[in-house]
Structures are given as C-alpha cells and as structure tokens.
Structure 1
Amino acid sequence: MKTVTIENVVKRFKLEVLIGHNQLDRILKKTKVRRPGLEFMDKFDFIATEHVQILGKNEINYLHTLSDEECKLRIANIVQYDPPCIIITSNQEEPLGLRQYCTEEHIPVLRTPDSTSEMSAKLDAYVTKAMAPEIAVHGVCVNVAGIGILLRGKSGVGKSETAHTLIGRGHRLIADDIVVLKKLSPQTLLGTHNEKNKEFLALRSIGLLNVVRLYGRAAFQEESRIALDIELTEWQENALNNELELDTKYKTYMDVQIPHIQIQLQPGRDVAGLIEAAANNWYLQQQGYSAVEEFMKRLEPEFEE
C-alpha cells in the first residue's frame, strides 16, 4: 500500500496552497473526503476523524451568513477533528477564522477551481487506488474488448507473444512480465503496471518493444478491472474433454476470487482467438445468457417424445 501525502494530492490535482506550505508531508489515513455538516454545529464523538474536509459553495455561503464569532466557532469545530487538510472548491475566498485556526493547528488549506462534486470524485478515486492493498504477480495483463484479463503461465510459454497477437487485433496491453494487482473492494481487483514496465512488451527473438511507439496510443491502457484469470499451459494428451460447460473455477488474489480458465497450447492453435472467445463469453454470462441453457432448451422437445 502506497503512502499518500498532501504534497502528492497538491501535485496530482495542481492545487493552490493557501496555508501550510511546510505541512504538506502530512499523511492521508482515510480514503473518503467529507463535507462538514454536523461538524459545523458542535462536537460529536461518533463523527469520523482524519478525513480530508471539503468546503464547497454551500458551506462557504453558510459561514458568510454568520457573525464573526459564530464563524470562528464553526471553523474551530472542523479543525478539532484534525483533518489532514481542508480543500476550498470553486476558487472561493477562505472564510473568516480559517487561516488563524489552521495555522495554529498546522493544517494545510488548499484551493481548486473544480466544483465540490468534481474534486470529491477525483480525490476519492485517486486515494482509494493509491492506498489499496497490492501485490505483484508474474504474468501479462491485457484488456480484451473492454474486459481485463490476467495471463499467467511458466516463463517462455508464450504469454507476451499472445499479448502481441491480441494487440494486433485491436486490444490493449496493460502490463508485461510484472502485473500489479490492487484490491479496491472485496469483489474488485485492478490490474496495472509498475511504472517501469509501462508500455513495454518483451518478445523473445525480437527484444523490447514500446507498443505505443509502434502501434499508437490505442495499443496501451493504464489499468483495468480483472475479470478473468487465464493460465497458458503446455499441451497434454487426453487432458481435454468435451463437456458442454465446465464448472467455474476460481483463482484467489488477496481474498478476491477471479474466474479461472486453463488454455493448453499446441502449434497452430489460435490462442488469441480462444482468449477473445473467453472474454466475450464471460460478458454474455454477466448479462444472464448461457449457451448451454439455450442448447438444452432446443433439445427438450426430443426428450419429451
């Protein structure tokens, strides 16, 4: 999990620092920003602390309706919860008392031209991803028709070559060799690169390729939710079967279960095409469609005779 500081946030979103230039090393501990409501009124022990506080137009306009002393009191109510920083949106003027209390408590005050909803959404998404638990796995991550796929297998089995074929068919590379997996929720796993291998694909006998330079921006994607775990294995005689539909198997990463498929390799076998079929079939299943169920319905009249 990456440590996120106020300085990271300032640089990421190009925020103006009004107060606390020397306190930008403060660390964010919570992923969700808050808009003060009850905090304005009085101290409540059950209110979550250590969240970034955002002051939008409604909050600033409310503070401007108060007397000087009341405004200072409301500001003090926010500061006592020790937020890592306070962000003023829509380039509004700071309310009376904010500079005094935040300077005394060493709390940075930042400002952005973005609206409250825009800033909240962007900051929540950024901090959630940055602070998510993560692991690095050996494999290749690709996005096939909008579906994130983690390709695994022994070294030299053909993962990168398969990814290259998929890129040639209009799909996108996310990471080669080392894939960073981030757990965003109990059901959501995000695949991305580790910055060093961004846009690079290593092919035996060819060398290192920059897919963006070779094939354009459409050949690369920063990240994707992982929907399928596909393992490429060597061909084994008599290991395949012709069942209409196999029971779904899963691979678990950080307690997140991902549907798992094994594809055996053999000269002449269209592995990239099989991966496309697996991705499209997974999508149809999410829509509630099952080819096996439809096939069995077509056979029902014969069984009834």
Structure 2
Amino acid sequence: MAESVTVADLVDNIRLDVYYGEDLLDDRDITTSDISRPGLELTGYFNYYPAKRVQLLGITETSFAKGMSHDELLDVMRQMCQPETPAFVISTQLEPPEELLQAAKESGIPILGTKMTTSRVLSNMTNYLEGKLAERQSLHGVLVDIYGVGVLITGDSGVGKSETALELVKRGHRLIADDRVEVFQQDEQTLVGEAPAILAHLLEIRGIGIIDVMNLFGAGAVRSETDIDLIVHLEAWSPDKRFDRLGNGDETQKIFDVVVPKISIPVKTGRNLAIIIEAAAMNFRARSMGYDATKVFDENLNRLIQQNSKKNKSGKKA
C-alpha cells in the first residue's frame, strides 16, 4: 500500500489543468482517497474541516461564493488553505475565485481545473486514489486475462503455472503478472490484480529463464492490471483426490472482503492445461451471462428419467 500519492501523479493520471502552482505539484502529498466538497465551510462552519482531503469546487460552490463579499470570502478561503491541504480542484471549466487564488498563493497550495463535470471528476479522482492508496496483498500465482475474464492461476511451485500462462499468451490472451500478484480491493465486489513494478511483463520459464512477453509477443500480449473474476488452482493428480466432474461445485476463496469463485484442476501428463483453463474462463463467462451447462445437463437427465419412467409404466400395463 502506498502511503501517499503526489498531486503531480493526480494531475497526470486524471489529466487536470494547473491554474496555479506548477512548481508545487511534486511536493504536495495526498494521503486519503476521500474528496471534500466544501459547502458548509463556505458558510463559515469549520468545527470539522477535512483539511487533508483534495478540495473540489463545482458550480454549486462557486455560485455560492459569488454571493459573498470579498473580505468574507477571502477569510473563508484562508481558513480552507491549511498546510496539509493537498490541492483545490475546480470542475466544469470554471474560473477559480480571485480570493481562492490569493489565499492559495499565500499558503503555497496548487489550484487545478478540468472540463469534466463535478460528478465525473469526483468519480475519476476517487477511483484513482482508492487504487493507489488501497491496502495490498501479495499472492503467489499467475494472472491472465482470458476473453475479458481475469483468471488467477495458483498452485504449488513447479506445477506449471508459468508454462501454462505462456501457452495462453501464444493463444492470444494477455499476461498481467507472473509469480507474484499484487491484489487490492477496489470496491465491495471487485478485486484488482497487477504486477509488481520489477516483474511487469516478465515471465519465468524453467530451463529458459526470464522472458519479456511484451518484446516477444507485442504490446497486445500484456495488460497492466485486471479484475480477478476466477481462481484456477492447479494441483497434482492423485487417485485418492476427488475433483468436480459435473461443474456443480461451489468452491470459493475469500480475498479481503471479496468472495471469488474457484475451481481445482488436476495436473496430469497429457492434459493441455491452457485449453482447459481457456474453456473454464469461457464457461465462467457463459454462466455470468445466464447459461449454465450443468443445469442444462440436469434438466436433460431429469427429462430422460421421466420418459423412461412413463415407458416402464406403459409396458407394465400392456
């Protein structure tokens, strides 16, 4: 988990304009993903003022400010410009009030702007900051994007995770991370995985060593991050181990507060794991869209049983 993000990072990633403080961006840190819209503060209420948050002013705030006197507004803006305040953001291509510019210059706080609406820039900044400041968990495995499904491949060391990922890349799918996957929770239902910076685009194949997937297969063979939708666990085949054959198992794994569907695939000589995992991802996607092959099989089986039962009854009567 990053302890802070600089205002310069926020400007670059959200594509904000800089009204004032170009030379201050690298020195201002953002430590929380919460964004403040200072409405009560404009009325002079400062009993609780979240000074550590980015302060976002939209049409409502700037319209209210226009109705205030110069001295009153300057006093409020000076109170809002605390040493720990990272920056002010003005939405909807509005001009920042002169009083805010004066107070920000006195305190050395950047003022940023954007053409985006208040709701849009609020959402974009929150999502970016939550991703950067969220608690992270490092998992052993390989993360691959298969037909838009984020598949985390896990298993003991040497079971063939990286080799399987290489075959999947050759089949047109995209690698996110090999060996170590940095995972964070984006919201109540979404996990996001990415590669540690030192391992980005790299794949380790025993007997060959480290290969750069992007250089060998092109930029379309990699992604920087993806949601984790499905966990595929590879384990050595054993006659004593029972594996799901009908697809009606409900195995899951909880990571942070998110429960992720999980399937276990036996590893045995002659099995093409890449094709099996590819099929598992497609089957998961079909289920997400409402089609369940296991349910169809059960319905067909029940229909056949009913037909045979009717035939047996009619045969006995004859």
Structure 2 length-normalised TM: 0.83
| Residue deviations 1:239-272 (CA, integer Å, cap 9, x gap) | 3456423421112222432111111112221111
Shift of 1:54: 1.9
Identity among equivalent pairs (%): 31
Greater helix proportion: 2
Number of aligned positions between the proteins: 304
**Residue matched to 2:316:** none
Assess, with a 3 A threshold, how the Cα gap between structure 1 residues 239 and 77 changes in structure 2: closer, same or farther: same
Assess, with a 3 A threshold, how the Cα gap between structure 1 residues 155 and 299 changes in structure 2: closer, same or farther: closer
**Residue matched to 1:206:** 208
- Once residues 236 and 299 of structure 2 are traced to their aligned partners in structure 1, the CA distance between those partners, rounded to angstroms, is 36
Say which of 164, 182, 185 aligns to 1:180. 182
Shift of 1:216: 1.2
Assess, with a 3 A threshold, how the Cα gap between structure 1 residues 292 and 10 changes in structure 2: closer, same or farther: closer
Shift of 1:278: 1.2
**Residue matched to 1:129:** 131
Shift of 1:26: 4.3
Say which of 248, 272, 293 aligns to 1:291. 293
Shift of 1:290: 1.8
Matched, 1:223 2:228: no
**Residue matched to 1:265:** 267
| Residue deviations 1:53-89 (CA, integer Å, cap 9, x gap) | 1234554455345442343355357447974321234
Equivalent position amino acid for 1:96 in 2:
E
Shift of 1:283: 1.6
Out of 143-152 and 8-17, give the one that drifted further.
8-17
Equivalent position amino acid for 1:288 in 2:
G
3-state DSSP class of the match of 2:304? helix
Say which of 160, 163, 167 aligns to 1:161. 163
Gap regions ≥5 residues in structure 2: 311-318
Q: Is the 8 A contact 1:151 1:232 kept in 2?
A: yes
Assess, with a 3 A threshold, how the Cα gap between structure 1 residues 69 and 195 changes in structure 2: closer, same or farther: same
Q: How does 1:62-73 map to 2 (within 5 A)?
A: 62-72=64-74
**Residue matched to 1:253:** 255
Gap regions ≥5 residues in structure 1: none
Equivalent position amino acid for 1:115 in 2:
M
Shift of 1:274: 1.1
3-state DSSP class of the match of 1:196? helix
Out of 217-226 and 89-98, give the one that drifted further.
89-98
- Once residues 155 and 25 of structure 2 are traced to their aligned partners in structure 1, the CA distance between those partners, rounded to angstroms, is 47
Q: Is the 8 A contact 1:142 1:171 kept in 2?
A: yes
TM superposition outliers: structure 1 runs of 4+ over 6 Å: none
Q: Is the 8 A contact 1:249 1:261 kept in 2?
A: yes
Out of 122-131 and 85-94, give the one that drifted further.
85-94
Assess, with a 3 A threshold, how the Cα gap between structure 1 residues 81 and 36 changes in structure 2: closer, same or farther: farther
**Residue matched to 2:122:** 120
- Once residues 282 and 47 of structure 1 are traced to their aligned partners in structure 2, the CA distance between those partners, rounded to angstroms, is 47
Matched, 1:277 2:289: no
RMSD (CA atoms)? 2.9
**Residue matched to 1:108:** 109
Shift of 1:228: 1.1
**Residue matched to 1:5:** 6
Say which of 129, 138, 141 aligns to 2:140. 138
Q: Is the 8 A contact 2:24 2:110 kept in 1?
A: no
- Once residues 56 and 69 of structure 2 are traced to their aligned partners in structure 1, the CA distance between those partners, rounded to angstroms, is 21
- Once residues 158 and 137 of structure 1 are traced to their aligned partners in structure 2, the CA distance between those partners, rounded to angstroms, is 16
Assess, with a 3 A threshold, how the Cα gap between structure 1 residues 107 and 251 changes in structure 2: closer, same or farther: farther
- Once residues 249 and 242 of structure 1 are traced to their aligned partners in structure 2, the CA distance between those partners, rounded to angstroms, is 10
- Once residues 215 and 304 of structure 2 are traced to their aligned partners in structure 1, the CA distance between those partners, rounded to angstroms, is 57
